Structure 1
Amino acid sequence: MDDQVIEQTHDYGVKRDEYFSTPRYDYVDLMPAGAASVLEIGCGTGATGHHARSEGKAAFCVGVEMFEPVAIKARDVLDAVHIGNIEQMDLPYEEETFDFLIMSEVLEHLIDPQAVVSRLVKLLKIGGRVFASSPNISHLAVIRHLMRGRFDYVEEGVMDKTHLRWFTPSSFATLFTEAGVTVDHLGSVYPSPIAHRLLAAAIGRPSAAWQRLNVHGHRTA
């Protein structure tokens, strides 16, 4: 394990348990009932895959997780868990294996997210769906700090110190379209406070109210 990965995993060790164990209920809700296969990058304790299975929406769940203590827990609920940095591993699956690819709050932690997305999309069946989210660097709070000359790292949120990349709504969508994914939905993970929405609309940037970007798409190429 190289020095950069060791430093990153040390930083993850101080995260709250919820950081690794909160299911993406919204993604599972969008899955139709059936025996689907799911690949989740940054699976944490496997909570999302476990929930999908319990809802009768997944029969084969694979996770990738860099932080070993939680990856070991995920092995209790998923069919397979690969421990390590997705940028440095080749997964042992044929192209067009999976029905769903989930990347929740993970792409911002990568050095070259475009290369990773392009590689992983090939593991999706044609028509297979992608669910992904990431912080919005054009959020109002970040804009306010930039206007004050600040770009400070913190323990969590948009400026989490473990983040290596940041995206605007446009650049996040482009990440997927350039990998052969048609983006069906680009929006916010959670509804924004009305004050944020009003201010963002007033400056002509409604998406500036979105703290976390959310993409739903399907593989077309």
Structure 2
Amino acid sequence: MAKTSSTTTASPSPGTPSPPHGLRDFYENPAVPVASGPSRSLRQARMLARALEPAGASGPRTVLDIGCGDGTAAATAAPLLRGHRLIGVDWSQDALTRARTRLPYAVRGELDGGGLPFASRSADAVLFSEVLEHLVDPDAALDEIRRVLRPGGHLMLSTPNLAAWYNRALLLAGVQPVFSEVSLRGIHGRPGTEVVGHLRLYTARALREFVAASGFTVVALKGAPFHGVPRTLRPLDRMACAAPTLASILLLHARRA
């Protein structure tokens, strides 16, 4: 949400890479952002640290950061999860190359097709940060996460809020909401400067219902600010976190049934 103009289009120029032919080409492009703001990452990490027992009490826990991107979210969480085993997972080779500079373990895996390279009930917790909105088949993704989590295991999920406070105002003005996208090749009808490949968006109510229908028990839903909000509006964005239904980012803690 770095610009306030309602329409921005991307025009090819000499030396510009050719437009992506599909999602795989899009996400393997090094220019595509693969990390989100530190405030969201830190809030999510604190939620997980509170949920897990200290490593000394019952041994290390296995935490998978699925869709780890360049590893910044897992690296932010690592100091709060000392003694636990943190493993980054992504299917983008470009993202994994960057993640391995920040994490001791980063492996290739997919939420569909071949599935994740982990045994059933082998993980104690899953970080799922800013991934759900990019998926063609979110139902299959949560099925696979449920498979690798042990009973009672924790899911820490974050995703943009379609009903964020500013999106409500934008819709009233006939402007495409922030976070929503109509093309992989350019921005049309909404504020912002980056195409990031969002396919699905959730309100707080929709996210709760979707996760519960996928075999999880929702423990808590909180809000987090969005790093792309203009500086002058950031105090309002932080205030909105007190009401998750209005917050920029939804942070959901659930447990495998």
Where 1:143 maps in the other structure, the secondary structure is: helix
1:180 counterpart residue number: 215
Correspondences of 1:1-221 after superposition (within 5 Å): 3-10=22-29, 13-15=31-33, 19=36, 24-30=41-47, 31=49, 32-34=53-55, 35-76=60-101, 77-82=103-108, 86-151=111-176, 152-153=189-190, 154-155=192-193, 161-190=196-225, 193=235, 207-220=244-257
> Percent of aligned pairs with the same residue?
24
Where 1:81 maps in the other structure, the secondary structure is: strand
Distance 1:20 1:144 in 2: 23
Give the strand-richer structure, 1 or 2.
Answer: 1
Distance 2:85 2:215 in 1: 24
**Post-superposition shift, 1:52?**
4.5
**Equivalences, count:** 209
> For the pair shown, which has the larger CA radius of gyration, 1 or 2?
2
Contact 2:40 2:225 (C-alpha < 8 Å) held by counterparts: no
Where 1:86 maps in the other structure, the secondary structure is: coil
TM-score normalized by structure 2? 0.68
Distance 2:37 2:168 in 1: 28
Matching residue's letter, 2:168? I
Distance 2:238 2:54 in 1: 36
TM-score normalized by structure 1? 0.78
Does 1 or 2 have the higher relative contact order (CA < 8 Å, sep 6+)?
2
Contact 2:92 2:108 (C-alpha < 8 Å) held by counterparts: no
**Post-superposition shift, 1:92?**
2.0
Contact 1:197 1:209 (C-alpha < 8 Å) held by counterparts: no
Distance 1:72 1:21 in 2: 20
Contact 1:50 1:78 (C-alpha < 8 Å) held by counterparts: no
Contact 1:22 1:47 (C-alpha < 8 Å) held by counterparts: no
